[in-house]
Amino acid sequence: MEVIARTVIIPLVFASLVTGLIQSLGTTWGLFRHYWVLAKLLLTIFTATVLMLQMDGIAYIAARAAETAFSSTDLLDLRRSLVVHAAGGLIVLLVTTTLSVLKPRGLTRYGWRKMQRQ
């Protein structure tokens, strides 16, 4: 669990942030012009922060679960918290993907000013 989090999930979260920044800044979408792009940026930063805060708990449960004495009733609160956070992460991914595909209208104040100048 810890190995997957460190070698797959964390790199992918930061990769989505970096590729998102490249797609925003490298195209006419811009980073602060459309609410949907801004929402994705904030959601992804929030997700990355929560994931980093969860890492200690993930590492702890992973180490404890590897012990033979670990029972199905141990650390229930911490394990529930991991499930809730993982489910929340999945919902955020669904929201960001839906926003990207639908690209709902809505320019920020900055986007309006930029458009009028052009």
The residues binding ligand HEM (CB under 6 A) are 16-17, 20-21, 23-24, 27, 29, 31, 37, 40-41, 44, 93, 96-97, 100-101
The tokens describing 39, both together, are 């929402």
Task: Give the nearest distance from C-beta 90 to ligand HEM in angstroms.
Answer: 11
* 44 versus 111: smaller Cβ distance to ligand HEM: 44
How many CA atoms are closer than 13 Å to the CA of 71, on its beta-carbon side? 2
* 83 versus 101: smaller Cβ distance to ligand HEM: 101
State the sign of the Cα–Cα–Cα–Cα dihedral 72, 76, 78, 80: positive
Helix-helix angle 35-65:10-25, to 10 degrees: 170
* 64 versus 89: smaller Cβ distance to ligand HEM: 89
Say which DSSP state 48 is in: H
The tokens describing 88, both together, are 């929340």
Task: Give the nearest distance from C-beta 3 to ligand HEM in angstroms.
Answer: 21
* 20 versus 79: smaller Cβ distance to ligand HEM: 20
